[in-house]
């Protein structure tokens, strides 16, 4: 947790203000009982009314001062803690945006979300508590003991009995409570995971009638969390009564022995009253310490989870000696590339070599799981190759700054993702400063302008979260338009025509051909009709290239290709 508090630096003066204010607040609280004993012992006993007024007013001032300090401390500690939370969330988000897909795979999206929200809130709360109690608890405990001893040293011996009893009670409760608090954090994570899966997969769950199954799964996680929370609360419920018991029994003992000492003339009434209050302060400071003991392990569990994210080093980093591309535009070349996903036993693609030039269309076809998506994800350097090289414009992608590399590429992912916002904003996502004409043109080519015109607000129609208010095919066309508006050197379409009907598919590819005359186009497809007229077809089979060539060449030479073709086209179409 201490490592996280580094990020508290910008709020240094707020923290300092809190500590100073708490210092003065504690001072005033330690001073008040003494003033009171003065009033009783000097003023009341001697019947000195002006003295009572004088000290009484002074007491009021001290109390008001203490109150002001307390309010100020609350205000500044809340400010420091929420600022700290803001900074931390920003740091985590900023760091996560530099992650390559490998790190996302490792931590998991659900956990990343819990870590940036719940875990940081947890730390924020503990921070507030620590700021207020860190100074107050020890100061009150030590100050209280000193003041009590100064009032009556003999009576102070009573603490030798009370303190160990109280400490033992706190120790026992903390020992039972702390592991439970740690467990709670993990169970919240689990609950979030189940909840998230249940919500994002709601369509699948409904269609497979798995609602009951999901409900059971959620209930299990929910009960698990509830059980642990109840256990914690049972333990904690003991805390207050035990503390109050110790407090009250101690008060009785103090008054009893104090009374005897007053009777014998060793002590004054005011001193006994003050003594009683110091005893309370000492015991409350111990309770505060015990609360910190319980809260801190819980927050440190959260801190560990946040540090895990912050300290994860992205596998993909810009080189320190970037090379710039010279003149060439849109050349993509794979040289004996092999790549495996982390932890996978077998490579997802092996020994891939080919090159693509501007003005050419390279199509990649093959069964599901044959490595098509993996292959193209290496071009924008979503992952780094294991062996071989991926060259863009003659330079190894690892030697190009990521920004420069990705600016060259218009990428349409297999799963179309739209953002909440209007259609226009979604298309402009590809190029921030695109003019209206460019946006319309891109939509036109992507065959999206017709359905956009059909929508009530046209380009200003709002896309719902996750793009649920447009069909699969419409989503695909919008994400194609988003890539086209970039005017990129290399276009990559990962199975982007699969949700389109044959007519739209053909129209789109014809328009695309015009538009991308000077760009390199790489199309991943399932349908033979989509790849027929490509300049080069790469046939993927079980992570390897089974053949490269035009349709006619492959029909002669490649068994895998022939199989795919026969499974899809009728005899006359093939001829
Ligand atoms: P295609 O696009 O041809 O259907 P992919 O390239 O998506 O195939 O997948 C190739 C292989 O890599 C599959 O066996 C798949 O299970 C595996 N794979 C894909 N993505 C990941 C990932 N993020 N982590 C681990 N393995 C993956
Ligand atoms: Mg794929």
- Site to substitute for ligand 1 among 373, 524, 531, most atoms within 8 A of C-beta: 373
| Rounded distance between C-alpha atoms, residue 561 and residue 554, angstroms | 6
Q: Is the pLDDT of residue 207 over 90?
A: no
How many folded domains does the chain comprise? 2
Query: Within 13 Å, how many C-alpha atoms sit on residue 104's CB side?
Result: 11
| Rounded distance between C-alpha atoms, residue 353 and residue 267, angstroms | 97
- Of 495, 473, 324, give the one whose Cα is nearest residue 414: 495
Q: Is 342 in the pocket of ligand 1 (CB under 6 A)?
A: no
84 within 8 A of 130, measured Cβ to Cβ: no
Q: Is 376 in the pocket of ligand 1 (CB under 6 A)?
A: no
Q: Could you tell me what percent of the chain has a pLDDT over 90?
A: 47
Query: Within 13 Å, how many C-alpha atoms sit on residue 286's CB side?
Result: 25
Q: Is the pLDDT of residue 570 over 70?
A: no
* One domain, residues 231 and 379: no
- Site to substitute for ligand 1 among 101, 103, 339, 341, most atoms within 8 A of C-beta: 341
Q: Which has more confidence, 92 or 292?
A: 92
169-176: average pLDDT: 83
Query: Residue 489's CB: how many other CB atoms inside 10 A?
Result: 22
Q: Is the pLDDT of residue 573 over 80?
A: no
- Of 382, 406, 381, 365, give the one whose Cα is nearest residue 524: 365
Structural domain boundaries, residue 471: 332-574
| DSSP conformation class of 320 | S
| Rounded distance between C-alpha atoms, residue 511 and residue 446, angstroms | 8
Q: Is 344 in the pocket of ligand 1 (CB under 6 A)?
A: yes
How far apart are the two ends of the chain, measured CA to CA in Å?
71
- Of 357, 343, 350, give the one whose Cα is nearest residue 378: 350
DSSP 3-state assignment of 522?
Answer: strand
Q: Nearest bound ligand to CA 370?
A: 1
Residue 326 lies in a domain: no
Residue 336 lies in a domain: yes
Q: Is 377 in the pocket of ligand 1 (CB under 6 A)?
A: no
- Site to substitute for ligand 1 among 366, 374, 375, most atoms within 8 A of C-beta: 374
Residue 158 lies in a domain: yes
* One domain, residues 403 and 489: yes
* One domain, residues 62 and 113: yes
Residue 372 Cα, ligand 1 centroid: separation in angstroms?
A: 8
Q: Kindly report, residue by residue over 60-102, the tens digit of the pLDDT.
A: 999 999 999 999 999 999 999 999 999 999 999 999 988 888 8
Residue 321 lies in a domain: no
Among 276, 310, 344, the domain-final residue is: 310
pLDDT category of residue 571 using cuts at 50, 70 and 90: low
156-178: average pLDDT: 85
DSSP 3-state assignment of 323?
Answer: coil
- Site to substitute for ligand 1 among 339, 368, 371, 525, most atoms within 8 A of C-beta: 371
Looking at ligand 1, which atom is closest to the CA of residue 101? Answer: 23
Q: Is the pLDDT of residue 182 over 60?
A: yes
Q: Is the pLDDT of residue 349 over 90?
A: yes
Q: Is 369 in the pocket of ligand 1 (CB under 6 A)?
A: yes
- Site to substitute for ligand 1 among 337, 344, 348, 386, most atoms within 8 A of C-beta: 348
Contacts of 538 (CB under 8 A, 6+ apart): 354, 362, 363, 364, 365, 545, 547, 548
Residue 102 Cα, ligand 1 centroid: separation in angstroms?
A: 13
For ligand 1, atom 10: residue with the closest CA: 371
Helix spans in 411-495 (H): 423-428, 436-445, 449-454, 472-484
pLDDT at 530: 85
Buried b (16+ CB within 10 A) or exposed e, 504-519: bbeebbeebeebbeeb
| DSSP conformation class of 332 | E
pLDDT category of residue 368 using cuts at 50, 70 and 90: confident
* One domain, residues 347 and 292: no
What CATH number does residue 214 fall under? 1.20.1560.10
Q: Is 541 in the pocket of ligand 1 (CB under 6 A)?
A: no
Among 275, 310, 345, the domain-final residue is: 310
| Rounded distance between C-alpha atoms, residue 303 and residue 123, angstroms | 7
- The packing angle between helices 158-200 and 120-151, to 10°, is 170
pLDDT category of residue 194 using cuts at 50, 70 and 90: confident
E-assigned strands of 299-368? 332-339, 349-356, 361-366
Helix spans in 39-157 (H): 45-46, 49-97, 101-107, 109-114, 120-151, 153-156
* One domain, residues 297 and 370: no
| Rounded distance between C-alpha atoms, residue 301 and residue 185, angstroms | 8
Residue 153 lies in a domain: yes
Q: Is 525 in the pocket of ligand 1 (CB under 6 A)?
A: no
Q: Is 421 in the pocket of ligand 1 (CB under 6 A)?
A: no
Contacts of 23 (CB under 8 A, 6+ apart): 135, 139
pLDDT category of residue 30 using cuts at 50, 70 and 90: very high
| Rounded distance between C-alpha atoms, residue 134 and residue 471, angstroms | 57
Residue 353 Cα, ligand 1 centroid: separation in angstroms?
A: 19
Q: Nearest bound ligand to CA 540?
A: 1
Among 310, 344, 359, the domain-final residue is: 310
* One domain, residues 303 and 355: no
Q: What is the dihedral of CA 85, 87, 88, 90, to 10 degrees?
A: 120
* One domain, residues 394 and 282: no
Q: Is 542 in the pocket of ligand 1 (CB under 6 A)?
A: no
Residue 521 Cα, ligand 1 centroid: separation in angstroms?
A: 22
Q: Is 348 in the pocket of ligand 1 (CB under 6 A)?
A: yes
* One domain, residues 220 and 88: yes
* One domain, residues 285 and 338: no
Residue 357 lies in a domain: yes
| Rounded distance between C-alpha atoms, residue 575 and residue 571, angstroms | 7
Residue 319 lies in a domain: no
| Rounded distance between C-alpha atoms, residue 280 and residue 30, angstroms | 11
216-222: average pLDDT: 92
- Of 483, 573, 476, 561, give the one whose Cα is nearest residue 522: 483
Looking at ligand 1, which atom is closest to the CA of residue 341? Answer: 25
What CATH number does residue 449 fall under? 3.40.50.300
* One domain, residues 16 and 128: yes
Q: Kindly report, residue by residue over 315-333, the tens digit of the pLDDT.
A: 888 888 888 777 788 899 9
* One domain, residues 260 and 376: no
* One domain, residues 13 and 79: yes
Q: Is the pLDDT of residue 575 over 60?
A: no
Instruction: Give me the chain's average pLDDT, please.
Output: 88
Quick one: residue 401, left, alpha or beta (phi over 0 = left, psi -120 to 50 = alpha)? beta
pLDDT at 485: 92
């Amino acid at each position: 947790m201490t490592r996280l508090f580094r990020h508290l630096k910008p709020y240094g003066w707020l923290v300092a203000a809190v500590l100073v204010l708490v210092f003065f607040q504690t001072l005033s609280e330690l001073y008040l009982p003494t003033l009171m004993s003065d009033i009783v012992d000097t003023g009341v006993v001697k019947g000195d009314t002006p003295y009572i007024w004088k000290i009484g007013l002074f007491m009021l001032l001290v109390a008001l001062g203490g109150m002001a300090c307390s309010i100020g401390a609350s205000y500044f500690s809340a400010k420091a803690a929420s600022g700290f939370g803001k900074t931390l969330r920003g740091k985590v988000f900023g760091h996560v945006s530099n992650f390559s897909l490998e790190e996302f795979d490792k931590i998991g999206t659900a956990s990343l979300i819990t870590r940036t929200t719940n875990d940081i809130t947890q730390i924020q709360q503990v921070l507030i508590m620590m700021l207020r109690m860190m100074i107050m608890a020890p100061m009150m405990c030590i100050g209280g003991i000193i003041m009590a001893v100064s009032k009556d040293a003999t009576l102070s011996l009573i603490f030798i009995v009370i303190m160990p009893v109280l400490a033992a009670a706190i120790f026992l409760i903390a020992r039972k409570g702390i592991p439970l608090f740690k467990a709670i954090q993990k169970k919240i994570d689990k609950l979030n995971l189940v909840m998230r899966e249940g919500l994002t997969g709601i369509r699948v769950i409904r269609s497979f009638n798995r609602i009951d199954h999901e409900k059971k799964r959620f209930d299990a996680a929910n009960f698990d969390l509830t059980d642990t929370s109840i256990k914690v609360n049972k333990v904690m419920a003991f805390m207050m009564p035990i503390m109050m018991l110790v407090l009250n029994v101690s008060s009785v003992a103090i008054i009893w022995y104090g009374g005897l000492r007053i009777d014998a003339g060793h002590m004054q009434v005011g001193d006994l009253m003050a003594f009683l209050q110091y005893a309370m302060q000492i015991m409350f400071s111990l309770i505060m310490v015990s609360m910190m003991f319980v809260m801190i392990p819980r927050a440190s569990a959260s801190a560990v989870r946040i540090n895990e994210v912050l300290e994860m080093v992205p596998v993909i980093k810009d080189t320190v000696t970037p090379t710039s591309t010279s003149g060439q535009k849109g050349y993509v070349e794979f040289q004996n590339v092999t790549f495996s996903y982390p932890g996978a036993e077998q490579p997802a693609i092996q020994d891939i070599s080919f090159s693509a030039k501007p003005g050419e269309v390279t199509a990649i076809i093959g069964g599901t799981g044959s490595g098509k998506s993996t292959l193209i994800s290496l071009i924008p350097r979503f992952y780094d190759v294991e062996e071989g090289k991926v060259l863009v414009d003659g330079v190894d992608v690892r030697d190009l700054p990521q920004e420069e590399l990705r600016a060259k590429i218009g990428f349409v992912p297999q799963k179309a993702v739209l953002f909440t916002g209007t259609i226009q904003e979604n298309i402009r996502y590809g190029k921030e400063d695109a003019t209206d004409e460019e946006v319309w043109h891109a939509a036109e080519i992507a065959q999206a302008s017709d359905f956009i015109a059909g929508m009530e607000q046209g380009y200003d129609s709002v896309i719902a979260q996750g793009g649920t208010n447009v069909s699969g095919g419409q989503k695909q066309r919008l994400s194609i338009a988003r890539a086209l508006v970039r005017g990129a050197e290399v276009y990559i379409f990962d199975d982007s025509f699969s949700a389109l009907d044959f007519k739209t598919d053909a129209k789109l590819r014809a328009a695309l051909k015009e538009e991308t005359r000077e760009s390199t186009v790489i199309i991943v497809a399932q349908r033979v009709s989509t790849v027929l007229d490509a300049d080069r077809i790469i046939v993927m089979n079980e992570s390897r290239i089974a053949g490269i060539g035009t349709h006619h060449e492959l029909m002669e030479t490649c068994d895998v290709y022939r199989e795919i073709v026969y499974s899809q086209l009728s005899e006359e179409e093939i001829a």
